[in-house]
A and B are shown apart, each in its own frame.
Chain A
Amino acid sequence: GAGVSQTPSNKVTEKGKYVELRCDPISGHTALYWYRQSLGQGPEFLIYFQGTGAADDSGLPNDRFFAVRPEGSVSTLKIQRTERGDSAVYLCASSLTAGMGNTIYFGEGSWLTVV
């Protein structure tokens, strides 16, 4: 596709429910990233994939958060037992490969609201 595509664009869920957020990176991009952006803040790193494997998941806040990229393209961020503090914009990004100098392109984000 022309850019990084994320679905859903908006999601409202009840506290305690399970949520899946999907990311379709730019075609041919091997590196994929998830960031979380709270209101009035900069994006915060969650996890990075190189191909199918999670190369760095040090930003995941706890074990309720999990992400997969089974075929090295589309990725899904999964949040179990959602809490109100999980409300944020979840941004997916991709780059041709990982490493300095490779431009990271962001999607429009999935706005998650936990009520």
Chain B
Amino acid sequence: GENVEQHPSTLSVQEGDSAVIKCTYSDSASNYFPWYKQELGKRPQLIIDIRSNVGEKKDQRIAVTLNKTAKHFSLHITETQPEDSAVYFCAVTGAGSYQLTFGKGTKLSVIP
């Protein structure tokens, strides 16, 4: 089955700096790559996603890049703010599958 590795597990940045979280996956047929943000005790919320026919997608301060050859994709958050502090999960869906396979999460702390 699909295997998703996410790094780092924790990340602390100063307010205003950038944060980068990286995920690698094992199934080369995977074709959908969402990122979820989860605050403590709350539901995971989709913040951005990318499909396999696109290399990069940006939404204001958030961007995701995909390298299908290397089987990795990354979340980039610029100009971080304290409200960006949360756990971020990457996920992957394979071709013909409706299952999301999640990484183990990255706890991001933005220090004011």
Contact = CB atoms under 8 A, between A and B. Distances in A.
A interface, over-half SS: loop
Contact of B93 (A41, A100, A108): A100
A109 B46 contact: no
Interface stretch (B13-21, B63-71, B99-107): B99-107
B89 interface: yes
Contact of B89 (A33, A43, A48, A59): A43
Contact of A101 (B32, B97, B100, B105): B32
Interface string B3-36: 0101000000000000000000000000110101
A33 B99 CA distance: 9
Contacts of B6: 42
Interface string B36-50: 100000111110010
Interface residues of A, number: 27
Interface in B80-112: 89, 91, 93, 97-105
B31 to A, nearest CB: 6
Given A42-B104, A43-B89, A98 B98 contact: yes
Nearest to A46: B99
B89 A42 contact: yes
B72 interface: no
A25 B36 CA distance: 19
A109 B39 CA distance: 13
Contacts of A98: 98
When A and B form their complex, which 10 residue pairs have the shortest distance between CB atoms, in order from nearest? A42-B102, A45-B99, A100-B32, A106-B43, A98-B98, A106-B44, A108-B43, A42-B89, A48-B98, A43-B102
Interface of B: 4, 6, 31-32, 34, 36, 42-46, 49, 51, 89, 91, 93, 97-105
